[in-house]
Amino acid sequence: MAEKHGCVQCGTGSEERLLIQCELKGKLEWVCARCLPMFIHGGGH
């Protein structure tokens, strides 16, 4: 069974929205397509 992941910002899972894995402060995190712009343009986690 696959491990469930959720967006670090809003908690949305891959069943609902595209998730993208990234590294933040040395830790692997998942960010959904909706929250990704916040991380790119500031105001993120």
Convert the pLDDT of each residue in 12-38 to its tens digit. Answer: 999 999 999 999 889 999 999 999 998
Burial 20-35 (b: 16+ CB within 10 A, else e): eeeeeeeeebbbbeeb
The confidence score (pLDDT) of residue 12 equals 96
Token reading at 31: 């960010």
The pLDDT confidence band at residue 40, using thresholds 50, 70 and 90, is confident
Is pLDDT of 3 > 90? no
The confidence score (pLDDT) of residue 27 equals 94
Where do the structural domains in the chain lie, given as residue ranges?
Answer: 1-30
For residue 38, count other CB atoms closer than 10 A to its CB: 14
The confidence score (pLDDT) of residue 44 equals 56
